[in-house]
Amino acid sequence: MATKKDYLLIVLHILSWIIFVGLLVEAGGFLFNTLYTLLYNPAGAANFWMKSDLSGLYSFNQSHFVTLTVIMVIASVLKAIMFYVIVKLFHDKKLDLTAPFNESFGRGLYNLSYLTAGISLFTYWGTKLSASLTEQGVSLPSLQELRLAGPDVWLFMCVALLVFARIFKKGITIQHENQLTI
Amino acid sequence: MPIIVNLDVMMAKRKMSLNELSDKVGLTLANLSILKTGKAKAIRFSTLETICKVLHCQPADILEYVAEEEG
């Protein structure tokens, strides 16, 4: 049973690394494409990250283009930081299964919930901006392609993580008292 | 905490060292030290029983309640 649990943790560790690297590449891609389009070649908007076409938005209004791409960059950077926190928890060996309720892990859970709140806020802003631009007749790729979908899901996740973090904090106190019971 | 642990007083009365008590009670030195310095959050009845048996004393000889001053 213990071997199976360790195996699962190793798989999750590797998966977290892959997702973290993927999100990092995505955030870098958004940032590079934005800067490339603004500073070097406006045609870059037509062939944005993963072939998304933002040329309509770019020709409609450059400041709206900057706003939307900055929101995309911030959301993807926050997602990358979120997985950095997870990878760090694995990497720093803070996940001690003999005494799992430790301070650093509890802090990590709180950080994850704050990060999901931030992602929810920026994706919500991006969703609203995208909807408003579409209403004005600007052709935009779908929210999935812009990586701005599901702000409500991120909010639910934030609340769920906050609840877990709160319960975890209680667990830390109980474990601490248990360790100091002679 | 208003509960004072007088383990060191009883140990001195019985002329028993921490090492000797640790051997007789079966607790680690680290845990006995936590108990002696008042850092412990709780004590098991079984631990209290063994300590009382080894030191030939009552629980009240080891634990004392001192009301905290308000303000």
Q: pLDDT, tens digit, for every residue of A14-24?
A: 999 999 999 99
The answer to whether B47 contacts A182, with C-beta atoms less than 8 Å apart, is yes
* pLDDT score of A110: 92
Q: Do B39 and A180 touch (CB under 8 A)?
A: yes
Cross-chain residue pair A182–B39, CB shorter than 8 Å? no
Task: Name the burial class of residue A53, with classes exposed (0-12), middle (13-18) and buried (19+) by CB atoms within 10 angstroms of its CB.
Answer: middle
Q: Supply the mean pLDDT for chain A.
A: 87
Q: Is the pLDDT of residue A10 over 90?
A: no
Residue A3 pLDDT > 60: no
Answer yes or no: is pLDDT of B38 > 60.
yes
**ipTM for this prediction:** 0.71
| B37, amino acid identity | T
The CATH number of the structural domain formed by B3-65 is: 1.10.260.40
Mean pLDDT of B49-63: 91
Q: Bigger pLDDT: A162 or A1?
A: A162
What whole-number distance in Å separates Cα of residue A145 and Cα of residue A127?
12
Residues whose CB falls within 8 Å of the CB of residue A168, separated by 6 or more in sequence, listed in order: A101, A105, A106, A109
B contacts of A181 (beta carbons < 8 Å): 40-44
Average of per-residue pLDDT across A52-81: 89
Our CA-based measurement puts residue B41 at a distance from the nearest CA of chain A, in whole angstroms, of: 5
CA distance A132 to A71: 15
pLDDT at A62 over 90: no
Segments making up each domain of chain B, as ranges:
3-65
Structure confidence at residue A1 (pLDDT): 45
Contacts of B47 (CB under 8 A, 6+ apart): A182, B25, B27
CA pair distance A35, A159, nearest whole angstrom: 35
Is the pLDDT confidence value at A51 over 80?
A: no
Query: Taking CB atoms and an 8 Å cutoff, what residues of chain A touch B43?
Result: 181-182
Question: What pLDDT was estimated at residue A94?
Answer: 65
Given an 8 Å threshold on Cβ–Cβ distance, is B40 in contact with A177? Answer: no
State the pTM of this model: 0.74
Where residue A28 falls among pLDDT bands split at 50, 70, 90? very high
Q: What is the pLDDT of residue A45?
A: 79
With 80 as the cut, is the pLDDT of residue A105 above it? Answer: yes
Q: Which residues contact A83 (CB under 8 A, 6 or more apart)?
A: A16, A19, A20, A23
